[in-house]
Structure 1
Amino acid sequence: MTIADFAGGPAADIAAATPRARTPSLRRYAMTVPTFFTVEYAINPWMDTSTPVDATLAVRQWEQLLSTYRTLGHTVEMVEPVAGLPDMVYAANGGLVVDGTAIVARFAYPQRAGEAAAYAEWMSSRGFEPHHTHHVNEGQGDLLVVGSTILAGYGFRTDRRAHAEVAELTGLPVVSLELVDPRFYHLDTALAVLDDTTIAYYPPAFSDDARAQLQRLFPDAVEVGSADAYVLGLNVVSDGKHVVLPANATGFAAQIAELGFEPIGVDLSELFKGGGSVKCCTLEVYS
Protein backbone atom coordinates (compact mmCIF):
# COMPACT_ATOMS: atom_id res chain seq x y z
CA MET A 1 0.00 0.00 0.00
CA THR A 2 1.37 3.43 -0.95
CA ILE A 3 0.23 7.00 -0.33
CA ALA A 4 -2.14 6.69 -3.29
CA ASP A 5 -4.10 4.11 -1.33
CA PHE A 6 -4.75 6.67 1.40
CA ALA A 7 -6.66 8.95 -1.00
CA GLY A 8 -9.79 10.41 0.43
CA GLY A 9 -8.39 10.42 3.97
CA PRO A 10 -5.96 12.87 5.54
CA ALA A 11 -3.62 12.42 2.55
CA ALA A 12 -6.11 14.38 0.46
CA ASP A 13 -5.23 17.48 2.44
CA ILE A 14 -1.48 17.39 1.67
CA ALA A 15 -0.20 20.86 0.94
CA ALA A 16 0.59 21.83 -2.62
CA ALA A 17 4.15 22.87 -1.74
CA THR A 18 6.88 20.83 -3.42
CA PRO A 19 8.13 18.22 -0.91
CA ARG A 20 11.84 17.77 -0.28
CA ALA A 21 13.54 15.11 -2.39
CA ARG A 22 14.51 12.09 -0.29
CA THR A 23 17.19 9.54 -1.10
CA PRO A 24 16.84 5.93 0.09
CA SER A 25 19.77 3.77 1.09
CA LEU A 26 19.94 -0.01 1.06
CA ARG A 27 19.57 -1.56 4.51
CA ARG A 28 20.29 -4.87 6.22
CA TYR A 29 17.62 -6.38 8.45
CA ALA A 30 17.10 -9.50 10.53
CA MET A 31 13.64 -11.02 11.02
CA THR A 32 12.07 -14.06 12.65
CA VAL A 33 9.05 -15.76 11.12
CA PRO A 34 6.13 -15.95 13.61
CA THR A 35 5.91 -19.74 13.45
CA PHE A 36 5.17 -19.99 17.17
CA PHE A 37 3.43 -16.65 17.63
CA THR A 38 0.50 -16.54 20.03
CA VAL A 39 -0.65 -14.41 22.95
CA GLU A 40 -0.42 -16.74 25.94
CA TYR A 41 0.63 -14.16 28.53
CA ALA A 42 0.21 -10.40 28.97
CA ILE A 43 3.30 -8.27 29.56
CA ASN A 44 2.11 -5.06 27.91
CA PRO A 45 -1.25 -3.25 27.72
CA TRP A 46 -1.92 -4.41 24.15
CA MET A 47 -1.84 -8.12 24.99
CA ASP A 48 -5.11 -9.86 25.84
CA THR A 49 -4.96 -13.61 26.35
CA SER A 50 -8.71 -13.88 25.76
CA THR A 51 -8.35 -12.57 22.19
CA PRO A 52 -7.73 -15.37 19.68
CA VAL A 53 -4.78 -15.15 17.30
CA ASP A 54 -4.96 -16.40 13.72
CA ALA A 55 -1.48 -17.93 13.40
CA THR A 56 -1.82 -18.52 9.67
CA LEU A 57 -2.81 -14.91 9.06
CA ALA A 58 0.05 -13.69 11.27
CA VAL A 59 2.55 -15.53 9.09
CA ARG A 60 0.92 -14.26 5.91
CA GLN A 61 1.03 -10.64 7.11
CA TRP A 62 4.63 -11.05 8.21
CA GLU A 63 5.52 -12.43 4.78
CA GLN A 64 4.02 -9.30 3.21
CA LEU A 65 6.37 -7.19 5.34
CA LEU A 66 9.31 -9.35 4.29
CA SER A 67 8.28 -9.04 0.62
CA THR A 68 8.04 -5.26 0.98
CA TYR A 69 11.64 -5.01 2.21
CA ARG A 70 12.95 -7.25 -0.53
CA THR A 71 11.03 -5.34 -3.20
CA LEU A 72 12.75 -2.18 -1.98
CA GLY A 73 16.10 -3.92 -2.44
CA HIS A 74 16.99 -4.44 1.22
CA THR A 75 18.83 -7.49 2.55
CA VAL A 76 16.84 -9.56 5.03
CA GLU A 77 18.42 -12.34 7.07
CA MET A 78 16.41 -14.95 8.93
CA VAL A 79 16.75 -15.80 12.62
CA GLU A 80 15.47 -19.28 13.39
CA PRO A 81 12.34 -19.21 15.58
CA VAL A 82 12.36 -21.24 18.80
CA ALA A 83 9.37 -23.16 20.11
CA GLY A 84 8.14 -21.76 23.41
CA LEU A 85 9.22 -18.21 22.57
CA PRO A 86 6.07 -16.73 20.96
CA ASP A 87 7.37 -13.13 21.00
CA MET A 88 10.55 -13.93 19.05
CA VAL A 89 8.89 -12.48 15.96
CA TYR A 90 9.59 -9.07 17.53
CA ALA A 91 13.19 -9.24 16.34
CA ALA A 92 13.99 -5.60 17.12
CA ASN A 93 14.07 -6.48 20.81
CA GLY A 94 16.84 -9.03 20.25
CA GLY A 95 19.63 -6.51 20.52
CA LEU A 96 21.51 -3.65 18.89
CA VAL A 97 24.07 -4.01 16.11
CA VAL A 98 25.85 -0.80 15.14
CA ASP A 99 29.23 -0.16 13.51
CA GLY A 100 30.28 -3.75 14.06
CA THR A 101 29.35 -3.82 17.75
CA ALA A 102 26.65 -6.28 18.76
CA ILE A 103 24.81 -5.95 22.08
CA VAL A 104 22.46 -8.74 23.09
CA ALA A 105 19.18 -7.97 24.83
CA ARG A 106 18.69 -8.63 28.51
CA PHE A 107 14.93 -8.95 28.87
CA ALA A 108 12.85 -7.58 31.71
CA TYR A 109 10.36 -10.48 31.73
CA PRO A 110 11.27 -14.15 32.15
CA GLN A 111 8.82 -15.11 29.39
CA ARG A 112 11.18 -13.52 26.85
CA ALA A 113 14.55 -14.26 28.46
CA GLY A 114 15.25 -17.24 26.19
CA GLU A 115 15.22 -15.01 23.13
CA ALA A 116 18.57 -13.51 24.12
CA ALA A 117 20.45 -16.75 23.50
CA ALA A 118 18.81 -17.19 20.09
CA TYR A 119 19.76 -13.70 18.94
CA ALA A 120 23.26 -14.02 20.40
CA GLU A 121 23.70 -17.20 18.36
CA TRP A 122 22.54 -15.37 15.23
CA MET A 123 25.00 -12.53 15.91
CA SER A 124 27.85 -14.99 16.34
CA SER A 125 26.91 -16.79 13.13
CA ARG A 126 27.26 -13.49 11.28
CA GLY A 127 30.73 -12.78 12.66
CA PHE A 128 29.75 -10.43 15.48
CA GLU A 129 30.99 -10.84 19.04
CA PRO A 130 27.88 -10.57 21.24
CA HIS A 131 28.26 -8.20 24.19
CA HIS A 132 26.02 -8.30 27.25
CA THR A 133 24.89 -5.53 29.56
CA HIS A 134 24.57 -5.99 33.32
CA HIS A 135 21.28 -4.11 33.32
CA VAL A 136 18.10 -4.74 31.37
CA ASN A 137 18.12 -3.57 27.77
CA GLU A 138 15.51 -4.57 25.23
CA GLY A 139 17.50 -3.92 22.10
CA GLN A 140 16.14 -1.71 19.36
CA GLY A 141 12.83 -1.57 21.13
CA ASP A 142 14.45 1.09 23.31
CA LEU A 143 17.68 1.88 21.43
CA LEU A 144 17.15 3.79 18.19
CA VAL A 145 20.04 5.07 16.09
CA VAL A 146 19.67 8.55 14.58
CA GLY A 147 22.77 9.49 12.61
CA SER A 148 25.65 9.06 15.07
CA THR A 149 23.45 9.24 18.18
CA ILE A 150 21.46 6.62 20.05
CA LEU A 151 18.10 7.64 21.48
CA ALA A 152 17.41 5.40 24.46
CA GLY A 153 14.08 4.86 26.16
CA TYR A 154 13.50 3.89 29.78
CA GLY A 155 10.65 3.77 32.25
CA PHE A 156 9.00 0.43 31.53
CA ARG A 157 11.48 -2.07 30.10
CA THR A 158 15.08 -0.95 29.55
CA ASP A 159 16.92 0.07 32.73
CA ARG A 160 18.35 3.56 32.44
CA ARG A 161 21.62 2.25 33.87
CA ALA A 162 22.05 0.18 30.71
CA HIS A 163 22.32 3.38 28.68
CA ALA A 164 25.81 4.08 30.02
CA GLU A 165 26.83 0.52 29.20
CA VAL A 166 25.56 0.93 25.64
CA ALA A 167 27.45 4.21 25.27
CA GLU A 168 30.67 2.58 26.45
CA LEU A 169 30.29 -0.45 24.18
CA THR A 170 29.40 1.49 21.03
CA GLY A 171 31.37 4.69 21.59
CA LEU A 172 28.29 6.66 20.56
CA PRO A 173 26.48 9.35 22.56
CA VAL A 174 23.27 8.13 24.17
CA VAL A 175 20.31 10.40 24.93
CA SER A 176 18.04 9.04 27.69
CA LEU A 177 14.31 9.59 27.20
CA GLU A 178 11.75 8.71 29.86
CA LEU A 179 8.51 7.04 28.76
CA VAL A 180 5.49 7.67 31.01
CA ASP A 181 2.51 5.99 29.29
CA PRO A 182 2.49 2.17 29.65
CA ARG A 183 0.83 1.78 26.26
CA PHE A 184 4.11 3.05 24.83
CA TYR A 185 6.32 0.73 26.78
CA HIS A 186 9.19 0.76 24.26
CA LEU A 187 10.69 3.80 22.59
CA ASP A 188 9.96 2.38 19.13
CA THR A 189 6.23 2.54 19.86
CA ALA A 190 6.38 6.28 20.52
CA LEU A 191 9.18 7.55 18.27
CA ALA A 192 10.09 6.88 14.65
CA VAL A 193 13.44 7.53 12.98
CA LEU A 194 12.80 8.74 9.44
CA ASP A 195 16.37 9.61 8.41
CA ASP A 196 19.64 10.65 10.02
CA THR A 197 18.23 14.00 11.14
CA THR A 198 14.45 13.55 11.14
CA ILE A 199 12.21 11.90 13.71
CA ALA A 200 8.52 11.73 14.51
CA TYR A 201 7.10 11.16 17.97
CA TYR A 202 4.00 11.17 20.15
CA PRO A 203 4.57 13.85 22.83
CA PRO A 204 2.19 12.49 25.55
CA ALA A 205 4.23 9.28 25.73
CA PHE A 206 7.20 11.18 27.16
CA SER A 207 8.04 12.98 30.39
CA ASP A 208 8.36 16.76 30.36
CA ASP A 209 12.15 16.50 30.42
CA ALA A 210 12.21 14.04 27.54
CA ARG A 211 9.94 16.24 25.45
CA ALA A 212 12.21 19.21 26.12
CA GLN A 213 15.22 17.22 24.97
CA LEU A 214 13.48 16.12 21.79
CA GLN A 215 12.37 19.67 21.02
CA ARG A 216 15.94 20.88 21.50
CA LEU A 217 17.56 18.14 19.42
CA PHE A 218 14.87 17.91 16.73
CA PRO A 219 13.04 21.23 16.48
CA ASP A 220 11.48 20.17 13.18
CA ALA A 221 10.29 16.78 14.40
CA VAL A 222 6.90 15.50 13.26
CA GLU A 223 4.43 15.38 16.14
CA VAL A 224 1.90 12.60 15.69
CA GLY A 225 -1.65 12.58 17.03
CA SER A 226 -3.36 10.03 19.23
CA ALA A 227 -5.31 8.32 16.44
CA ASP A 228 -2.09 7.22 14.77
CA ALA A 229 -0.16 6.58 17.97
CA TYR A 230 -2.86 4.22 19.26
CA VAL A 231 -2.45 1.95 16.23
CA LEU A 232 1.33 1.91 16.81
CA GLY A 233 1.69 4.14 13.79
CA LEU A 234 5.15 5.24 14.91
CA ASN A 235 6.46 1.67 14.88
CA VAL A 236 8.03 2.13 11.45
CA VAL A 237 11.09 1.27 9.39
CA SER A 238 12.56 3.88 7.05
CA ASP A 239 15.36 3.73 4.49
CA GLY A 240 15.51 7.51 4.27
CA LYS A 241 12.75 7.73 1.69
CA HIS A 242 10.40 4.77 1.93
CA VAL A 243 8.68 4.54 5.32
CA VAL A 244 7.07 1.17 5.99
CA LEU A 245 4.34 1.69 8.57
CA PRO A 246 1.07 0.21 9.84
CA ALA A 247 -1.54 0.54 7.10
CA ASN A 248 -4.10 2.23 9.34
CA ALA A 249 -1.78 5.07 10.39
CA THR A 250 -3.24 7.23 7.64
CA GLY A 251 -2.79 10.61 9.31
CA PHE A 252 0.91 9.99 9.92
CA ALA A 253 1.27 8.75 6.33
CA ALA A 254 -0.08 12.08 5.11
CA GLN A 255 2.26 14.04 7.38
CA ILE A 256 5.40 12.33 6.12
CA ALA A 257 4.28 12.36 2.48
CA GLU A 258 4.11 16.13 2.76
CA LEU A 259 7.80 16.06 3.75
CA GLY A 260 8.80 14.01 0.71
CA PHE A 261 8.85 10.57 2.28
CA GLU A 262 6.99 7.72 0.62
CA PRO A 263 4.75 5.85 3.10
CA ILE A 264 4.12 2.17 2.44
CA GLY A 265 1.34 0.72 4.56
CA VAL A 266 1.45 -2.92 5.69
CA ASP A 267 -1.32 -4.69 7.60
CA LEU A 268 0.11 -6.43 10.69
CA SER A 269 -3.16 -6.60 12.63
CA GLU A 270 -2.45 -10.06 14.06
CA LEU A 271 1.00 -9.13 15.34
CA PHE A 272 -0.50 -5.95 16.81
CA LYS A 273 -2.27 -8.25 19.27
CA GLY A 274 1.11 -8.90 20.87
CA GLY A 275 1.89 -5.19 21.11
CA GLY A 276 4.10 -4.86 18.05
CA SER A 277 4.14 -3.81 14.43
CA VAL A 278 6.60 -3.04 11.64
CA LYS A 279 9.66 -1.93 13.60
CA CYS A 280 9.14 -4.52 16.33
CA CYS A 281 9.47 -7.21 13.66
CA THR A 282 12.67 -5.72 12.24
CA LEU A 283 16.16 -5.67 13.72
CA GLU A 284 18.33 -3.35 11.65
CA VAL A 285 22.04 -3.99 11.32
CA TYR A 286 23.48 -0.47 11.30
CA SER A 287 26.77 -0.22 9.41
Structure 2
Amino acid sequence: MQREPRRRTYLMCSPEHFAVEYVINPWMDTSVAVDAAAAVAQWERLRQTLVGLGHEVHTLNPQVGLPDMVFAANGAFVVDGVAYGARFKYPQRSAEAKSHQEFYETNPGWGFVAPTVVNEGEGDFAYLPDAHGGLILAGHGFRTETAAHAEAQEALGRPVVSLRLVDPAFYHLDVALAALDDANIVYYPEAFSPASRKVLAQLFPDAVVADEADARAFGINLVSDGRTVVLNTGSDALAAKLRAVGYETAQVDLSELKKGGGSVKCCVAELRH
Protein backbone atom coordinates (compact mmCIF):
# COMPACT_ATOMS: atom_id res chain seq x y z
CA MET A 1 0.00 0.00 0.00
CA GLN A 2 1.25 3.47 -0.92
CA ARG A 3 1.07 5.75 2.10
CA GLU A 4 0.66 9.48 1.53
CA PRO A 5 2.31 11.93 3.93
CA ARG A 6 0.75 15.19 5.07
CA ARG A 7 2.95 18.13 5.95
CA ARG A 8 2.70 18.81 9.67
CA THR A 9 3.49 21.68 12.00
CA TYR A 10 5.02 20.82 15.35
CA LEU A 11 6.03 22.49 18.62
CA MET A 12 9.08 21.34 20.59
CA CYS A 13 11.24 22.54 23.49
CA SER A 14 14.95 21.89 23.90
CA PRO A 15 15.98 19.83 26.97
CA GLU A 16 18.65 22.29 28.06
CA HIS A 17 17.45 22.00 31.66
CA PHE A 18 16.30 18.38 31.52
CA ALA A 19 17.00 16.28 34.62
CA VAL A 20 15.22 13.73 36.77
CA GLU A 21 14.76 15.79 39.93
CA TYR A 22 11.54 14.17 41.22
CA VAL A 23 9.43 11.07 40.60
CA ILE A 24 5.95 11.44 39.09
CA ASN A 25 5.84 8.31 36.92
CA PRO A 26 7.17 4.74 37.25
CA TRP A 27 10.02 5.35 34.80
CA MET A 28 11.70 8.15 36.75
CA ASP A 29 14.58 7.39 39.11
CA THR A 30 16.43 10.27 40.75
CA SER A 31 19.44 8.03 41.42
CA VAL A 32 20.07 7.57 37.68
CA ALA A 33 22.22 10.34 36.23
CA VAL A 34 21.13 12.21 33.10
CA ASP A 35 23.69 13.27 30.51
CA ALA A 36 22.32 16.72 29.70
CA ALA A 37 24.53 17.24 26.64
CA ALA A 38 23.53 13.86 25.23
CA ALA A 39 19.85 14.66 25.85
CA VAL A 40 20.16 17.89 23.85
CA ALA A 41 21.99 16.09 21.03
CA GLN A 42 19.35 13.35 20.85
CA TRP A 43 16.55 15.91 20.86
CA GLU A 44 18.27 17.87 18.08
CA ARG A 45 18.48 14.71 15.95
CA LEU A 46 14.76 14.24 16.44
CA ARG A 47 14.08 17.85 15.44
CA GLN A 48 16.29 17.54 12.36
CA THR A 49 14.57 14.29 11.40
CA LEU A 50 11.18 16.01 11.41
CA VAL A 51 12.51 19.00 9.47
CA GLY A 52 14.18 16.66 7.00
CA LEU A 53 10.81 15.05 6.34
CA GLY A 54 9.48 18.46 5.28
CA HIS A 55 7.68 19.47 8.45
CA GLU A 56 7.69 22.86 10.17
CA VAL A 57 8.97 22.89 13.76
CA HIS A 58 8.40 25.76 16.18
CA THR A 59 10.21 25.86 19.51
CA LEU A 60 9.49 27.11 23.01
CA ASN A 61 12.18 28.68 25.16
CA PRO A 62 13.17 26.22 27.91
CA GLN A 63 12.81 27.58 31.43
CA VAL A 64 15.13 27.03 34.39
CA GLY A 65 13.39 24.99 37.08
CA LEU A 66 11.13 23.14 34.63
CA PRO A 67 13.15 20.02 33.77
CA ASP A 68 10.22 18.26 32.05
CA MET A 69 9.41 21.12 29.69
CA VAL A 70 11.05 19.10 26.89
CA PHE A 71 7.88 16.99 26.89
CA ALA A 72 6.05 19.63 24.88
CA ALA A 73 3.12 17.40 23.94
CA ASN A 74 1.69 17.85 27.44
CA GLY A 75 1.19 21.62 27.23
CA ALA A 76 -1.99 21.79 25.12
CA PHE A 77 -4.09 19.94 22.55
CA VAL A 78 -4.75 21.68 19.23
CA VAL A 79 -7.49 21.03 16.67
CA ASP A 80 -8.49 23.39 13.81
CA GLY A 81 -6.40 26.25 15.14
CA VAL A 82 -7.84 26.09 18.67
CA ALA A 83 -5.60 25.10 21.58
CA TYR A 84 -7.25 23.54 24.61
CA GLY A 85 -4.74 24.35 27.34
CA ALA A 86 -3.26 22.01 29.91
CA ARG A 87 -3.59 21.97 33.67
CA PHE A 88 -0.97 19.62 35.07
CA LYS A 89 -1.72 17.14 37.84
CA TYR A 90 1.60 17.59 39.63
CA PRO A 91 2.80 20.97 40.92
CA GLN A 92 6.33 20.28 39.65
CA ARG A 93 5.06 20.80 36.10
CA SER A 94 2.24 23.29 36.57
CA ALA A 95 4.25 26.36 35.49
CA GLU A 96 4.83 24.81 32.04
CA ALA A 97 1.25 25.58 31.07
CA LYS A 98 1.91 29.33 31.08
CA SER A 99 4.63 29.08 28.42
CA HIS A 100 2.32 27.12 26.14
CA GLN A 101 -0.53 29.56 26.66
CA GLU A 102 1.75 32.48 25.84
CA PHE A 103 2.83 30.76 22.61
CA TYR A 104 -0.75 30.54 21.35
CA GLU A 105 -1.75 33.99 22.58
CA THR A 106 1.27 35.78 21.07
CA ASN A 107 1.38 33.99 17.71
CA PRO A 108 -1.38 35.03 15.29
CA GLY A 109 -3.77 32.45 13.94
CA TRP A 110 -4.39 30.48 17.12
CA GLY A 111 -7.25 30.49 19.57
CA PHE A 112 -6.75 29.44 23.17
CA VAL A 113 -9.24 27.90 25.59
CA ALA A 114 -8.15 27.84 29.23
CA PRO A 115 -8.94 24.60 31.05
CA THR A 116 -10.85 24.38 34.32
CA VAL A 117 -9.93 20.78 35.14
CA VAL A 118 -6.77 18.69 35.13
CA ASN A 119 -5.63 17.53 31.70
CA GLU A 120 -2.17 16.98 30.27
CA GLY A 121 -2.66 18.07 26.70
CA GLU A 122 -1.73 15.83 23.84
CA GLY A 123 -0.27 13.41 26.35
CA ASP A 124 -3.84 12.20 26.86
CA PHE A 125 -5.53 13.27 23.62
CA ALA A 126 -5.15 12.04 20.04
CA TYR A 127 -7.00 13.36 16.98
CA LEU A 128 -7.88 11.44 13.83
CA PRO A 129 -9.58 13.80 11.36
CA ASP A 130 -10.61 11.08 8.90
CA ALA A 131 -11.81 8.49 11.43
CA HIS A 132 -15.59 8.41 11.77
CA GLY A 133 -15.90 12.00 10.61
CA GLY A 134 -13.22 13.34 12.93
CA LEU A 135 -12.62 11.75 16.29
CA ILE A 136 -10.71 12.61 19.47
CA LEU A 137 -9.45 9.73 21.59
CA ALA A 138 -8.91 10.70 25.23
CA GLY A 139 -7.19 8.83 28.03
CA HIS A 140 -7.94 8.91 31.75
CA GLY A 141 -7.00 6.94 34.81
CA PHE A 142 -3.73 8.49 35.95
CA ARG A 143 -3.39 12.13 34.86
CA THR A 144 -6.23 13.67 32.87
CA GLU A 145 -9.63 13.84 34.58
CA THR A 146 -12.67 12.53 32.72
CA ALA A 147 -14.33 15.95 33.08
CA ALA A 148 -11.64 17.29 30.75
CA HIS A 149 -12.93 15.04 27.98
CA ALA A 150 -16.28 16.85 28.00
CA GLU A 151 -14.52 20.21 28.27
CA ALA A 152 -12.31 19.37 25.27
CA GLN A 153 -15.35 18.35 23.25
CA GLU A 154 -17.00 21.70 23.94
CA ALA A 155 -13.80 23.62 23.23
CA LEU A 156 -12.90 21.82 20.01
CA GLY A 157 -16.25 20.73 18.59
CA ARG A 158 -15.23 17.15 17.92
CA PRO A 159 -16.65 13.98 19.48
CA VAL A 160 -14.48 12.55 22.23
CA VAL A 161 -14.12 8.85 23.04
CA SER A 162 -12.98 8.21 26.62
CA LEU A 163 -10.50 5.39 27.14
CA ARG A 164 -9.48 4.13 30.57
CA LEU A 165 -5.79 3.43 31.18
CA VAL A 166 -5.16 0.73 33.80
CA ASP A 167 -1.38 0.15 33.92
CA PRO A 168 0.67 2.83 35.75
CA ALA A 169 3.56 2.23 33.33
CA PHE A 170 1.29 3.68 30.65
CA TYR A 171 0.20 6.75 32.55
CA HIS A 172 -0.54 8.82 29.43
CA LEU A 173 -2.48 7.84 26.34
CA ASP A 174 0.49 8.68 24.12
CA VAL A 175 2.64 5.89 25.55
CA ALA A 176 -0.11 3.35 24.84
CA LEU A 177 -1.68 4.61 21.58
CA ALA A 178 -0.68 6.75 18.61
CA ALA A 179 -2.19 7.96 15.35
CA LEU A 180 -0.40 6.44 12.36
CA ASP A 181 -2.27 8.58 9.86
CA ASP A 182 -5.52 10.53 9.80
CA ALA A 183 -7.67 7.42 10.18
CA ASN A 184 -5.77 4.61 11.91
CA ILE A 185 -3.83 3.89 15.08
CA VAL A 186 -1.27 1.67 16.76
CA TYR A 187 -1.90 0.66 20.38
CA TYR A 188 -1.05 -1.76 23.17
CA PRO A 189 -4.35 -3.36 24.29
CA GLU A 190 -3.26 -4.39 27.78
CA ALA A 191 -2.73 -0.75 28.75
CA PHE A 192 -6.52 -0.27 28.59
CA SER A 193 -9.52 -1.55 30.49
CA PRO A 194 -11.42 -4.47 28.89
CA ALA A 195 -14.26 -2.15 27.87
CA SER A 196 -11.88 0.36 26.29
CA ARG A 197 -10.20 -2.46 24.35
CA LYS A 198 -13.59 -3.42 22.92
CA VAL A 199 -14.23 0.19 21.88
CA LEU A 200 -10.85 0.44 20.15
CA ALA A 201 -11.31 -2.88 18.36
CA GLN A 202 -14.70 -1.73 17.08
CA LEU A 203 -13.52 1.71 15.96
CA PHE A 204 -10.18 0.59 14.48
CA PRO A 205 -10.40 -2.98 13.17
CA ASP A 206 -7.26 -2.46 11.07
CA ALA A 207 -5.14 -1.01 13.88
CA VAL A 208 -1.55 -2.13 14.35
CA VAL A 209 -1.26 -3.95 17.66
CA ALA A 210 2.00 -3.60 19.56
CA ASP A 211 3.40 -6.18 21.94
CA GLU A 212 4.46 -5.58 25.53
CA ALA A 213 8.18 -5.36 24.80
CA ASP A 214 7.78 -2.58 22.27
CA ALA A 215 5.24 -0.78 24.43
CA ARG A 216 7.60 -0.80 27.40
CA ALA A 217 10.41 0.41 25.15
CA PHE A 218 8.25 3.49 24.37
CA GLY A 219 7.84 2.32 20.78
CA ILE A 220 4.24 3.54 20.63
CA ASN A 221 5.30 7.02 21.74
CA LEU A 222 5.82 7.96 18.11
CA VAL A 223 5.10 10.64 15.54
CA SER A 224 3.80 9.88 12.05
CA ASP A 225 3.00 12.04 9.03
CA GLY A 226 0.95 9.29 7.41
CA ARG A 227 3.87 7.72 5.58
CA THR A 228 6.99 7.96 7.74
CA VAL A 229 6.74 6.89 11.36
CA VAL A 230 9.41 8.36 13.64
CA LEU A 231 10.01 6.17 16.68
CA ASN A 232 12.77 5.51 19.14
CA THR A 233 15.44 2.88 18.80
CA GLY A 234 14.82 -0.40 20.60
CA SER A 235 11.40 -0.90 19.00
CA ASP A 236 12.51 -3.09 16.11
CA ALA A 237 9.58 -5.52 16.17
CA LEU A 238 7.07 -2.67 15.99
CA ALA A 239 9.06 -0.96 13.24
CA ALA A 240 8.92 -4.20 11.25
CA LYS A 241 5.14 -4.45 11.75
CA LEU A 242 4.71 -0.90 10.50
CA ARG A 243 6.83 -1.49 7.41
CA ALA A 244 4.85 -4.66 6.69
CA VAL A 245 1.68 -2.59 6.30
CA GLY A 246 3.25 0.07 4.12
CA TYR A 247 4.73 2.68 6.43
CA GLU A 248 8.32 3.84 6.32
CA THR A 249 10.18 4.14 9.61
CA ALA A 250 12.89 6.40 11.01
CA GLN A 251 14.34 5.44 14.38
CA VAL A 252 15.92 7.99 16.71
CA ASP A 253 17.82 7.27 19.92
CA LEU A 254 16.17 9.10 22.83
CA SER A 255 17.65 7.00 25.63
CA GLU A 256 18.39 10.01 27.85
CA LEU A 257 14.89 11.44 27.59
CA LYS A 258 13.36 8.03 28.30
CA LYS A 259 14.77 8.42 31.81
CA GLY A 260 12.03 11.00 32.34
CA GLY A 261 9.32 8.66 31.12
CA GLY A 262 8.95 9.94 27.57
CA SER A 263 10.16 9.49 24.02
CA VAL A 264 9.40 10.84 20.54
CA LYS A 265 5.75 11.86 20.89
CA CYS A 266 6.19 13.31 24.36
CA CYS A 267 8.66 15.76 22.82
CA VAL A 268 6.39 16.81 19.95
CA ALA A 269 3.08 18.67 20.02
CA GLU A 270 1.19 18.86 16.74
CA LEU A 271 -0.17 22.28 15.76
CA ARG A 272 -3.26 21.57 13.68
CA HIS A 273 -4.58 24.53 11.70
Q: TM (normalized to structure 1)?
A: 0.92
1:134 and 2:116 correspond: yes
Deviation at 1:279, TM superposition (A): 0.2
Alignment partner of 2:138 out of 149, 152, 155: 152
SS at match of 1:210: helix
Alignment partner of 1:66 out of 38, 41, 47: 47
Within-5 A mapping of 1:242-253: 242-253=228-239
1:49 and 2:35 correspond: no
Rounded Cα–Cα distance in structure 1 between residues aligned with 2:225 and 2:74: 19
Show the counterpart of 1:101. 82
Show the counterpart of 2:102. 121
Show the counterpart of 1:84. 65
Alignment deviations for residues 195-249 of structure 1 (CA, whole Å, 9 cap, x no partner): 1121110011000110010001001111110110011100000000000001110
Alignment partner of 2:177 out of 191, 206, 212: 191
Alignment partner of 2:216 out of 230, 234, 246: 230
Deviation at 1:31, TM superposition (A): 0.3
Alignment partner of 1:270 out of 251, 256, 271: 256
SS at match of 1:183: helix
Rounded Cα–Cα distance in structure 2 between residues aligned with 1:86 and 1:129: 27
Q: TM (normalized to structure 2)?
A: 0.97
Show the counterpart of 1:3. none
Aligned partner letter, 1:82 = Q
Deviation at 1:123, TM superposition (A): 1.1
Show the counterpart of 1:6. none
Alignment partner of 1:257 out of 227, 243, 256: 243
SS at match of 2:168: coil
SS at match of 2:256: helix
Alignment deviations for residues 161-180 of structure 1 (CA, whole Å, 9 cap, x no partner): 11000000100000000000
Show structure 1 runs of 5+ residues with no match. 1-19
Show structure 2 runs of 5+ residues with no match. none
Show the counterpart of 1:12. none
Deviation at 1:126, TM superposition (A): 1.6
State the Cα RMSD in Å.
0.7
Deviation at 1:94, TM superposition (A): 0.5
Percent sequence identity over matched residues? 54
SS at match of 2:190: helix
Show the counterpart of 1:25. 6
Deviation at 1:129, TM superposition (A): 3.1
Rounded Cα–Cα distance in structure 2 between residues aligned with 1:132 and 1:248: 37
Show the counterpart of 2:194. 208
Show the counterpart of 1:15. none
